[in-house]
Chains A and B, each alone.
Chain A
Amino acid sequence: MSTESGPVPKSGVAEDVQQGPRVAVSALVTNLREYGLILALIAIMVFFQYTTSGTLFKPVNLSNLVQQNSFIIVMALGMLLVIVSGHIDLSVGSVAGFIGALAAMMMVIWPLGPFSNPLVVSIICLIVGGAIGAAQGYWIAYHRIPSFIVTLAGMLIFRGICQALLGGGSSVGPLPVGFKALSSGFIPDVIGSLTLIPPVVNAAGKTIVGSGLTLHMTTILLGIVAVVAYAYFGLRARRSRERHGYEAEPFSLFVIKTLVTSALALFLVYQFATYRGLPIVLVVMGVLIALFVFVTKRMTVGRRIYAMGGNAKAAQLSGIKTERLTLMVFINMGVLSALGGLIIAARLGQAVPAAGLGSELDVIAAVFIGGASAMGGVGQVVGAVVGGFIMGVMNNGMSIMGVNVDWQQVVKGLVLLGAVVFDVYNKNKA
């Protein structure tokens, strides 16, 4: 899941290896490895769907799941780049807590007049997050202080400031409704809803036929647009490869992949549509995921981050400004930590001193479950996102099952260890 090429024999005699059928086989093996993680997620979902007697996929629970875990995934996007570039950031949970406190103080306590508007506050908070990232990244990039130490210091510092800001153990709230929409709101239904089979009610007021299910049509439409766009761009990339005379993956594999992904996406979209539509935070997250996939896969800056993580000296001698790039990676992490903090505060409706406490570990775990290497240079955005969802589904599923929180941690720890062991074992075998 972490490399693009298939397993490559170690010896130089590889030159003699025949191409042709082997390419197709290796493409399949590669894809199996790449999709192994997604298959694992699906397996975990099916497992909990069964053990929770169908509660997991209930529309209301799906919305909860997204709202509870989106901040982990948002921060995991930044953490992926940090880890790929060969660093770590332990401060994200504290920074998120601090930003939540800052936002609450600005909106509720401090007399800022027009500046206490949720949108203005959010923008200021994101900027502050970026500045925190820059402050930490500065020491890491230009003074070569190990990121573990700098961000460990940051973890203590910002948790402390967060608590001081809130005046000891108290919480600050309630936050304005407009702000809470970031986490608990749904996209407005501009097209209008559709009642699937209008219920027929008998004289006694009992429904005889029809479920009375209403669908959030804007959600359905957005879902269809996204799926069509996904298929279109996939097809276009394939065509482009073929036009330039390069082998693409086998067509059957492409079709299966596209169909399965689309079906899964449409199923989830349908579930959301039967409830209140897409949560706003899911849309924010989706846009960010797409952006980061694009940046890491297609943009020069993404490529340079991977090169820096793979061999910093070689990258530097290839003309890459590694110090500035490291700084940028940490600024990005700071902004996303701030966004994570806003999402947490919006979900709770208030700022609490313990907001985001320990979440850095969930975020880091998500990235490693997603196949990133602790040595740097290896890791995929989609992997980190799926890793985040695996953590989220386990949290949610075990909570519904009534598993004790203590044991939930044990299970999550084992899953993290298992995923990485599996990954390392796989790589060695290849």
Chain B
Amino acid sequence: MASTILEMRDITKTFPGVKALSNVNLSVEEGEIHAVVGENGAGKSTLMKVLSGVYPAGTYDGEIVYRGDECHFKGIHDSERRGIVIIHQELALVPMLSIAENIFLGNEHASYGIIDWNANETRTSALLKKVGLREDPKTLITNIGVGKQQLVEIAKALSKEVQLLILDEPTASLSEKDSQALLELLLEFKRQGITSILISHKLNEINRVADKVTIIRDGRTIETLAKKDISEDRIITSMVGRSLDDRYPSREPNIGEIVLQVRNWSVYHPIHAERQVIKGIDIDVRKGEVVGIAGLMGAGRTEFAMSLFGRSYGRRITGEVLLNGKPIDVSSVSKAVEHGIAYVTEDRKTYGLNLIDHIKHNITLANLPGVSRHSVIDDMRELAVANDYKAKTNIRSSSVYQMTGNLSGGNQQKVVLSKWLFANPEVLILDEPTRGIDVGAKYEIYTIIARLASEGKAIIVISSEMPELLGITDRIYVMNEGRIVGEMAASDASQEKIMRAIVRGEGKAS
């Protein structure tokens, strides 16, 4: 029906010593939503950077034909001039500027360098309406959530009169509700004739919106599937090169005594002193049990976990924590760690890793006494530990001396997990442990969680992906607006039940 808008032919891109892409082909038709999937490190992001000119013409082989012209983009400006806009996984917004300032950053309505704020704000309002975001254009980016920031990025793309919109894992950090809204928006754009390339790990999303799927593995195009051929099984098989019979490893729960009890836990917002973020939470976790905490974005799950972990979040924290029946002091991170509590953060780059140091040093950081005597580090013991955990958690890297900043998301997450496993905790709190990582690595993370449970650890998993919670936990707490609004055994939980608990809880809270 429609004509081909973009054709990438035989794209080959090499980094020193590595072929990141070899002869990749991608053909996108006008007005379609074209999904690109592949494991992390498969080369999707590299391909998009080639397309948008982040890697300028000449640094790769192959040709890009856009609207019939062969293009040699020298930088992102060249591609944007042709209406190709990329929205990166890590949002590129300036936190202390307003929505309007961000949308027209570098592109302001101005004459002789003097900005016409009214024009900017009027246009911003119009754009925000298009993406369905009800916020004042003067609101600072730092004051709106990640979901809304994503919408601002899209509004920014629209302001550049986008014809080909590239979204790199747009829903990775969004809640279920925001993700749905974003996908609706993509379908709306499609009706308006905007072509989109969607990079995603979430197969159900692709199933829903994509017209075509191109699968990339190890820097090569595996296949392109038309709408009628798209199925999760087919995609997974092509992505990992093997079939995954089950997305969650099976395990035999062996649940023992209560290990962790939290009683009447309350936390206030660190800046808005009057706002109570956590409102009297009670939970218990047993030995060998995997407990999930479900909830929407902003339900207070991360805030709860971080306040529990050495008061890393919030003020005026009250409540009691009991470990094996005895009250413990968790008023600082080091005390929490000493008592055997570990917290694997949802934001591994900001809070989890020293990205400019290598794997070995990251793994031992939370338990340096474990590799040292009289405060002197035993280099050989440290190396042995690092290699041991690299093998145990299957970190794929050339050696333990690789910088963590150069690892893919899944492998970074395995490094953070290794760090906490080496600290040998009794209670492990995992916050969005599989966010932004691919199917294969997810399965590996699930396997690690199952193994830890069978070793008798008490595990709390916070996740926005309900199928994941249903698949790997034994029991699920549902949180909403700082309260526990439901508790159910995973065996008789369902997505509908969880959503119902949230909705009912919302009624109660207001």
Interface residue from A11, A244, A304 paired with B20 (Cβ < 8 Å): A11
Q: A14-B406, A246-B383, A303-B368 are contacts. A4–B358 as well, Cβ < 8 Å?
A: yes
Q: Check A143 for interface membership: any CB of B closer than 8 A.
A: no
The distance from the CB of B422 to the nearest CB of chain A, in whole angstroms, is: 11
What 1/0 flags go to B384-420 for Cβ under 8 Å of A?
A: 1000000000001111011100111001000000010
Q: A5-B403, A315-B354 are contacts. A300–B15 as well, Cβ < 8 Å?
A: no
- Which residues between 348 and 373 of chain B lie within 8 Å of chain A, taking CB atoms? 350-358, 361, 365-366, 368-369, 372
Across the interface, which residues of B come within 8 angstroms of A8, CB to CB? 398, 402-403, 406
Interface residue from B43, B383, B419 paired with A318 (Cβ < 8 Å): B419
- Which residues between 312 and 336 of chain B lie within 8 Å of chain A, taking CB atoms? 312, 332-334, 336
What 1/0 flags go to A1-33 for Cβ under 8 Å of B?
A: 001111111111111110100100000000000
Interface window among A189-197, A305-313, A357-365, A413-421: A305-313
Across the interface, which residues of B come within 8 angstroms of A298, CB to CB? 376-377, 379
- Which residues between 59 and 116 of chain B lie within 8 Å of chain A, taking CB atoms? none
Complex Cα distance A378/B403, Å? 13
Across the interface, which residues of B come within 8 angstroms of A58, CB to CB? none
Q: Are B333 and A317 in contact (CB under 8 A)?
A: yes
Q: Check A257 for interface membership: any CB of B closer than 8 A.
A: no
Q: Check B510 for interface membership: any CB of A closer than 8 A.
A: no
Specify the chain A residue showing the minimal Cβ separation from B396: A15
Complex Cα distance A309/B17, Å? 30
Q: Are A17 and B18 in contact (CB under 8 A)?
A: yes
Q: Are B15 and A9 in contact (CB under 8 A)?
A: yes
Q: Are B375 and A314 in contact (CB under 8 A)?
A: no
Specify the chain B residue showing the minimal Cβ separation from A300: B368
Q: Check A117 for interface membership: any CB of B closer than 8 A.
A: no
Complex Cα distance A176/B379, Å? 46
Across the interface, which residues of A come within 8 angstroms of B384, CB to CB? 244
Q: Are B408 and A12 in contact (CB under 8 A)?
A: yes
Q: Check A240 for interface membership: any CB of B closer than 8 A.
A: yes
Q: Are A321 and B332 in contact (CB under 8 A)?
A: yes
Complex Cα distance A6/B399, Å? 11
Q: Check A402 for interface membership: any CB of B closer than 8 A.
A: no
Q: Are A310 and B408 in contact (CB under 8 A)?
A: no
Q: Are B17 and A311 in contact (CB under 8 A)?
A: no
Across the interface, which residues of A come within 8 angstroms of B507, CB to CB? none
Q: Check A353 for interface membership: any CB of B closer than 8 A.
A: no
Interface residue from A237, A299, A373 paired with B377 (Cβ < 8 Å): A299
Across the interface, which residues of A come within 8 angstroms of B310, CB to CB? 319
Name the residue in A3, A240, A307, A373 with the highest tally of chain B Cβ atoms < 10 Å from its Cβ.
Answer: A307
Interface residue from A311, A318, A377 paired with B366 (Cβ < 8 Å): A318
Q: A300-B375, A307-B354 are contacts. A13–B402 as well, Cβ < 8 Å?
A: no
Across the interface, which residues of B come within 8 angstroms of A253, CB to CB? none
Q: A12-B408, A319-B337 are contacts. A313–B16 as well, Cβ < 8 Å?
A: no
Q: Check A109 for interface membership: any CB of B closer than 8 A.
A: no
Across the interface, which residues of A come within 8 angstroms of B369, CB to CB? 300
Q: Are B46 and A5 in contact (CB under 8 A)?
A: no
Q: Check B380 for interface membership: any CB of A closer than 8 A.
A: yes
Q: Are B398 and A314 in contact (CB under 8 A)?
A: no
The distance from the CB of B199 to the nearest CB of chain A, in whole angstroms, is: 14
Q: Check A316 for interface membership: any CB of B closer than 8 A.
A: yes
Across the interface, which residues of B come within 8 angstroms of A200, CB to CB? none
Show 7 residue pairs from A and B whose CB-CB distance is below 8 angstroms, ordered by the A residue.
A4-B401, A5-B403, A13-B19, A22-B17, A310-B357, A314-B354, A318-B366
Closest CB pairs A-B (n = 10): A12-B41, A310-B354, A5-B401, A12-B408, A9-B18, A11-B20, A319-B337, A318-B366, A15-B396, A319-B334
Interface residues, chain A, CB within 8 Å of chain B?
A: 3-17, 19, 22, 237, 240-241, 244, 246, 298-301, 303-304, 306-307, 310-311, 313-321, 373, 377-378, 430
Contacts A9-B20, A306-B357, A320-B334 aside, 6 further interface pairs with beta carbons under 8 A come to: A8-B398, A12-B40, A13-B19, A13-B43, A14-B397, A313-B350
Interface residues, chain B, CB within 8 Å of chain A?
A: 15-20, 40-43, 46, 218-219, 309-310, 312, 332-334, 336-338, 343, 345, 350-358, 361, 365-366, 368-369, 372, 375-377, 379-380, 383-384, 396-399, 401-403, 406-408, 411, 419, 423
